[in-house]
Structure 1
Amino acid sequence: MRGLYLITNDDAFDVLYQKLHVALQSGPISLIQYRRKKVTPVQQLEEIERLLSLCQQYQVPLIINDNLALAQQFGCGLHLGQGDGSLIQARKQLGPQAIIGRTCHNSLELASQAAAEGVSYLAFGAVFPSATKPNAQRVSLVTLQQAKAQFELPICVIGGLTVENSQPLVELGIDLFAVVGDILNLEIAHVAQRCKAWQVLLRN
């Protein structure tokens, strides 16, 4: 697991779907996370079904945010925040091959616990201020450097990431760059170009 990790925004679903399709066509996206807090449970089922079909077309894993039941229903991966249930239980229900991530904020202690409980990747953030979660705790480059040294698991960063500000994270050897706004908040016409700019950055 290395590269871009796209997390859905709150666009109208047809618009979001088009943007994700363009992003997947534009080059290697490692993971896509479904995070749609403002739609009904019935809409979520319809949207996940469509996104899963799209992801399967490009052989990119789909990760469900914070909902073990949906992840199990659709055979998807799962991302758990700190208040979103037991990682051990999720691993038991989803099986050994499932991708399960855990939010660790800025804490190596939380990361150690998640690693012991069988997590697939460790997510740290926010690295920069973010419109998606403006009050999120911040994580320092020093903590990220320590995480890279301490854990053999993929390290994911999130929070205000852009092509322009992420070079120091690339230099640290960060594995996954979770992005919402820098790609999916753009007009559809600009998505492909931005994805390609990220690919250039992450190849360096």
Structure 2
Amino acid sequence: MMTKPTAKLYLLTNDDEFDLLYQKLAAALATGVIGLLQIRRKKVLAQIDGQKKLESEARQIINLAKQYQVPVLINDDIDLAAKLGVGVHLGQSDGSISDAKAKLGSNAIIGRTCHGDVDLVTQAKIEGATYAAMGAVFASATKPKAATISIDALEQGINRGIDICIIGGLTAENISQLSHLAIAYVAVVGDIMELPVSQIAKRCEEWQRALQSFAKT
């Protein structure tokens, strides 16, 4: 019988002002709990010179993450990921996995959004993605209009032979409902990033305990 892999905590940035965001990321990364970090800054990109601002922010975040040996991904932008030497997470309309592999190299982490569609999970595996993201698992404040997926669909996705990342409304408390599943990454935004800086480390430690029990189930 195969040993179930330990799920890693996958932190995504929010739209805080950069100074505050950086403080929160520093607090989270210092705990050693974060296994993967995604830079997703939709409001920054919507600004004048948003691309330039995002690149500047990303360089600072990447340097911070390197101190803790945490891999970084850029949301949606293969070219920026290539420029910065990091991985990329792609929505269904944000470029091909083959293009990402060609530009980022065979060792780059490449994620693909698959929602609750098991066929998309299969396609992501065939195309060579590192992981397939499924969700929303629970109702999410970050994407309140996102449809939630069934546990059955999630189980089918896991059986497709590619690492599965779950996202959507996840907390250190409700993740226990999924502890029987062999999930590779647990993606979190609000449950950590919406807290004050002073509470970030404690919440990360609560996540660590939740995922330790998760892995042993």
State yes or no: 1:23 paired with 2:28.
Answer: yes
Task: Give the 3-state SS of the residue equivalent to 1:171 in structure 2.
Answer: coil
Give the match for residue 45 of structure 1: 55
Moved over 3 A (4+): none
For residues 99 and 52 of structure 2, the distance between their equivalents in structure 1, rounded to whole angstroms, comes to 25
How big is each residue's C-alpha offset from its partner over 1:146-203, in whole Å with a ceiling of 9 and x where there is no partner? 222231x221000000111111222212121100000000011110110000000100
Give the match for residue 130 of structure 2: 120
Alpha-carbon shift at residue 126 of structure 1 (Å): 0.4
1:45 partner letter: E
Give the match for residue 111 of structure 1: 121
For residues 127 and 10 of structure 1, the distance between their equivalents in structure 2, rounded to whole angstroms, comes to 22
Kept in 1: contact 2:32–2:68 (CA 8 A): no
Task: Give the 3-state SS of the residue equivalent to 1:172 in structure 2.
Answer: coil
Alpha-carbon shift at residue 144 of structure 1 (Å): 1.2
Aligned CA-pair RMSD:
1.1
2:177 partner letter: P
2:135 partner letter: G
Q: Which 10-residue stretch deviates more, 166-175 or 35-44? A: 166-175
Alpha-carbon shift at residue 134 of structure 1 (Å): 1.1
State yes or no: 1:174 paired with 2:183.
Answer: yes
Kept in 1: contact 2:121–2:160 (CA 8 A): no
Within 5 A, what are the aligned runs for 1:31-110? 31-39=36-44, 40-110=50-120
Kept in 2: contact 1:2–1:30 (CA 8 A): no
Percent identity over paired residues? 50
Task: Give the 3-state SS of the residue equivalent to 1:96 in structure 2.
Answer: coil
Alpha-carbon shift at residue 96 of structure 1 (Å): 0.5
TM-score, with normalisation over the residues of structure 2?
0.91
1:167 partner letter: S
Structure 1 residue runs of 5 or longer lacking an equivalent are none
For residues 76 and 95 of structure 1, the distance between their equivalents in structure 2, rounded to whole angstroms, comes to 10
Give the match for residue 3 of structure 2: none
For residues 148 and 68 of structure 1, the distance between their equivalents in structure 2, rounded to whole angstroms, comes to 26
Q: How many residues align?
A: 203
2:189 partner letter: V
